[in-house]
Structure 1
Amino acid sequence: MTHAVTGIWRHPLKSHGREALEKTTVSAGQTMPGDRVWAVANEQSKADGSKWVVCGNFSRGSQSPALMAINARLDDATGLLTLTHPQRSEITFDPENPADLQRFLDWEKPLLPGTARASARIIRVPGRGMTDTGFPSVTLCNWASHRAVEQAIGHGLSPLRWRGNIWFDLGEPWAENDWLGREVQIGEAVFAVRERVVRCLATTANPETGERDADTLKVLKDNWGHQDFSVYAEVVRGGGIRLGDAVKVL
């Protein structure tokens, strides 16, 4: 059975906002263009931009839930990034320009709790996005699994909690977990599905308010015995992807 792409999202600055797309073009062995291009290293991080490092080096939604309410717009032509948040005025800056760094840090600081490590700098790793996986990954999400979580928790949830890249509806919850070790064609591109995504506290925060208001992790554990939602995949054949494109297991 063939299914269709219902959503395409990128997150230009890791843990600092998301942007909806109508189309994208992916390349083999790469993250989605414009996704996790930059990350905000905390004051204790040893990340220097020379290589991929684990997420504990960065300011992120699991420790600072208010970050979950950020929306982003990346101008691909100029490299300028615009962030909005219900508690902050809009900011536009160049993540590559050291002169803009302090302005961003001042904008972000009120969104970090006192218990979180302070943000220190923005880094970029050449050739790949700073995904949570050691390999450049794209996160594939199934609407049917999201609806199952909503039903179990007893009320609606924004799918933006999951910070996924490509959405589709398989009609059956957790059917995507059966894709491990298989290849899936989405539009012109082909993905090898490699891992289930183990979820963290970031998903407990409301993407509209930045406040923790749903125990997604407990619901996953109590109902399905895991903390997983969606799957990590690697692009093995590049190509264009648009809303409405077919999704099929090869």
Structure 2
Amino acid sequence: MRIETIYRYPVKGLTAEALEEVTLTPGETLPHDRRFALAQGDSPFDPTAPAWLPKRNFACLMVNARLAMAHSAFDARTGQLAIRLPGAPLFLGDTRTEEGRAAIAAHLAAFLGEEARGTPRFLEAPGHSFSDVAKKVVSIIGLSSLHALEQAAGATLDPLRFRANVYVSGAAPWAEFDLLGREILLGQARLRVIKRIVRCPATEVNPATGERDAEPPRWLRQHFGHPDLGVYAEVLEGGRISVGDALEVTDPAG
């Protein structure tokens, strides 16, 4: 298998950012992946004692499809978050200061309108990842599996609907499920595949239009008998991964 694309998602629910290469660290996500989130006003998340919470506590595409139209870009060197909303001028907010985070929260809350519950907070908790799962992981999708779903459903699906970190080519459909419990080399890093990814209504949202115009979870169940696409893997040994690198299995099948 070969790495075709690599993405990080600095703000939960906002824009994917493509990377040519990145260095993985043991026990961590991609650097800056799901580093920030907009916590809804009724969310009990405490940044001083961060603990994993279900995604409904935060602005997310599963509930807030219009987030797909909020185009963002994060500069890790300066801490600046740029957000461009439809019909609005470019907004710049400083993620490093309390005032900057409050301004970002207010900007996104105004865009969400009635979907913003209470007074949302734009949050970061150092060392915490606002991932959909409690364990820090890298998500991997085999493009052959996605193409099998497209063929069965008779629809074209943007891979970014599924918000994975790494998309790979060169394997049979669903071959990544055979990697469960096994160790792999991804570029220079070693990982263990730990879990299939169960797909939710976030994948119904077209990342280009913000419309719910597809039903991947239902199509997966209808055509393949499960709602899963892609796998999670934990990083065991760090190293650089780059577009074009190989994904290789390092241990024999059990």
TM range (shorter): over 0.9
Q: Which 10-residue stretch deviates more, 20-29 or 63-72?
A: 63-72
Residue number among 1, 26, 29 corresponding to 1:28 in the alignment = 26
Residues 247 and 165 of structure 1: is their aligned pair in 2 closer, same or farther, counting only changes over 3 Å?
A: same
Residues 68 and 246 of structure 1: is their aligned pair in 2 closer, same or farther, counting only changes over 3 Å?
A: same
Query: Which runs of 5 or more structure 2 residues have no equivalent in the other structure?
Result: none
TM-score using structure 2 length? 0.91
TM-score using structure 1 length? 0.93
CA distance in 1, matches of 2:70, 2:230: 22
Aligned equivalent of 1:53? 52
Q: CA RMSD in A?
A: 1.7
Give the SS at the match of 1:245: coil
Residues 228 and 151 of structure 1: is their aligned pair in 2 closer, same or farther, counting only changes over 3 Å?
A: same
Q: Which 10-residue stretch deviates more, 52-61 or 232-241?
A: 52-61
1:128 Cα deviation after fit = 3.4
Give the SS at the match of 2:220: helix
Superimposed CA distance per residue, residues 89-147 of structure 1 (whole angstroms, 9 cap, x where no aligned partner): 43221223221234323432354363553551122222232211111111011110111
CA distance in 2, matches of 1:69, 1:95: 20
CA distance in 1, matches of 2:113, 2:63: 8
Give the SS at the match of 1:112: helix
Aligned equivalent of 2:180? 180
Aligned equivalent of 1:78? 78
Query: Are the aligned partners of 1:193 and 1:231 in contact in 2 as well (CA < 8 Å)?
Result: yes
CA distance in 2, matches of 1:209, 1:82: 19
Q: Look up the equivalent residue of 1:198 and give its one-letter code.
A: V
Query: Which runs of 5 or more structure 1 residues have no equivalent in the other structure?
Result: none
Aligned equivalent of 2:216? 216
Aligned equivalent of 2:232? 232
CA distance in 1, matches of 2:186, 2:119: 37
Query: Are the aligned partners of 2:41 and 2:116 in contact in 1 as well (CA < 8 Å)?
Result: no
Task: Give percent identity, aligned residues only.
Answer: 36
Q: Look up the equivalent residue of 1:95 and give its one-letter code.
A: T
CA distance in 1, matches of 2:69, 2:149: 20
1:52 Cα deviation after fit = 2.6
Q: Look up the equivalent residue of 1:10 and give its one-letter code.
A: R
Residues 212 and 116 of structure 1: is their aligned pair in 2 closer, same or farther, counting only changes over 3 Å?
A: farther
CA distance in 1, matches of 2:201, 2:181: 27
Q: Look up the equivalent residue of 2:7 and give its one-letter code.
A: W
Does residue 65 of the first structure (1) align with residue 65 of the second (2)? yes
Number of matched pairs: 248
